[in-house]
Amino acid sequence: MPTKFKLTLEGNAYDVERREGLMVVNGVEFSLAAKENQVLIAGTPHTVKLGAGVAEVDGISYTVSAEGLEEPSPARGRRAASSNAAAEAGALVAIMPGLIIKILKKEGDRVEAGEVILVLEAMKMQNELQAKSAGVIRQMNVKQGDNVEMRQVLCVIE
């Protein structure tokens, strides 16, 4: 897993480095820990919810993006999604690196827009990933227990 990446928050760029128990942001160190549904930054608890391109911290939404967190995923005996699947309207992609802890739908299932497809755990937070549009799950690329990377195509809905 990469330890250095670039984070853009509300249009401002930051160089971030992860170290055990620390985050270094533009050269300044902050202690970092996760406790239940909160993130402790320099000992101060914050409630964080992450979505595609959005982070909500203590109830306030911010636009965010990150570069440098991607890692190639090894093939696991499963056909890979096409290289442009993420650009397809129905592709459901990982919003951050994490662990698939629950899959609620399977290939062939019909889903409605906003319906929860799977649950991704990242930074001790559970994120319910929802269908962007109604359709049928044509390809499920993960299984429960899989580690995924940011922007990895998890499933394709047509």
- Residues 89 and 151 occupy one common structural domain: yes
Instruction: Please report whether residue 78 resides in a domain.
Output: no
- DSSP letters, 97-147, are SEEEEEE---TT-EE-TT-EEEEEEETTEEEEEE-SSSEEEEEE---TT-E
In contact, 139 and 59? CB cutoff 8 Å = no
Mean pLDDT of the chain: 80
In a domain, 79, yes or no: no
Whole-number Å distance between alpha carbons of 27 and 93: 31
**What's the pTM value of the predicted model, to 2 decimals?**
0.48
In the chain, how many domains are there? 2
Of the residues 67, 93, 115, the one at which a domain ends? 67
Q: 53: burial class by Cβ within 10 Å (0-12, 13-18, 19+)?
A: exposed
When mean pLDDT is compared over 47-51, 111-115, 123-127, the highest value belongs to 111-115
Residue 135's CATH number? 2.40.50.100
Q: Are 34 and 46 in contact (CB under 8 A)?
A: no
One domain for residues 60 and 106: no
What tens digit of pLDDT does each residue of 52-68 get?
788 888 888 888 888 87
Largest CA distance in the chain: 49
Identify the CA nearest to 66 among candidates 135, 106, 17, 20: 17
Q: What is the mean pLDDT of residues 15-44?
A: 81
CATH of the domain at 36: 3.30.700.30
Show the domain range for 146: 85-157
* Cα distance between residue 4 and residue 17, in whole Å: 4
Specify if 80 maps to a domain.
no
Whether 72 is in a domain gets the answer: no
Residues 92, 146 within the same domain:
yes
Distance CA 124, CA 122 (A): 5
* Euclidean distance between CA atoms 145 and 101, whole angstroms: 6
pLDDT digits (tens, 9 = 90+) for 24-34: 888 888 888 87
- Is the same domain home to 151 and 95? yes
Of 32, 67, 102, which closes a domain? 67
CA atoms of 86 and 154, how far apart (whole Å): 9
**44 domain residue, yes or no:** yes
